[in-house]
Amino acid sequence: MRATNQPKKQAALLGIGLDNDDGHTRLTRGKNFALVGGSHETHLRMQETAVKINEHLDNRGKRLEDVSVSELREICHEVRESIG
């Protein structure tokens, strides 16, 4: 049971793309993630990665704020391999 004076745990993924040279402003927010910038291709890849990470978390029945750093690293590795 959580003590009433302890704040609720929160976590989010932040993706920042720095390769934008077409003048477009790209921003995508979703369940526990925010993605900013990048070229069209980079932003799409960030979107796909964030969605797949959430799918992996859902499949494990976990929330981002509940996984350890090592488990998140494992999930990211699996996602990276599935994307190619």
- Helix/strand/coil for 77: helix
The reply to whether 3 falls in a domain is no
Domain that holds residue 25: 13-83
The reply to whether 38 falls in a domain is yes
Distance, in Å, from the CA atom of 81 to the CA atom of 19, rounded to the nearest integer, reads 23
pLDDT per position as a tens digit, 2-19: 567 788 889 999 999 999
pLDDT per position as a tens digit, 55-74: 999 999 999 999 999 999 99
Q: Which letter does DSSP use for residue 61 in this model?
A: T
Count Cβ atoms within 10 A of the Cβ of residue 76 and give its class: 0-12 exposed, 13-18 middle, 19 or more buried: middle
The reply to whether 5 falls in a domain is no
pTM, rounded to two decimals:
0.84
The reply to whether 47 falls in a domain is yes
The neighbouring-strand residues paired with 30 are 33
Provide the domain count of the chain. 1
The reply to whether 57 falls in a domain is yes
